Amino acid sequence: MERVQLSSPDIHGELTANWWDEINESAKWQDGIFFTLCGAYALVSAVALIQLIRIELRVPEYGWTTQKVFHLLNFIVNG
């Protein structure tokens, strides 16, 4: 029986390493990823605040429920 190699030796690993090094050393990529994450966290924070206000306006008589605390903490942590 003859052994068959299923993967190419260093071609795939070298391409992946070069791609990662290029992105890792690029200030534009890092700034883009940073601002994308900032936008995502701001969106989550805004939605949590809107939900908290919406719930409080609809049922103010219940006080601080678990759901309200959850949205408040999401707003604080992500904001």
Question: Would you kindly state where each structural domain of the chain is located, as residue ranges?
Answer: 37-79
Express each pLDDT in 36-50 by its tens digit. 999 999 999 999 999
pTM metric for this prediction = 0.69
Q: Up-side HSE of residue 48: CA atoms within 13 Å toward CB?
A: 19
Res 60 pLDDT > 80? yes
Instruction: Give just the sign of the alpha carbon dihedral 14, 15, 21, 24.
Output: negative
> What would the two tokens of residue 7 be?
């993967």
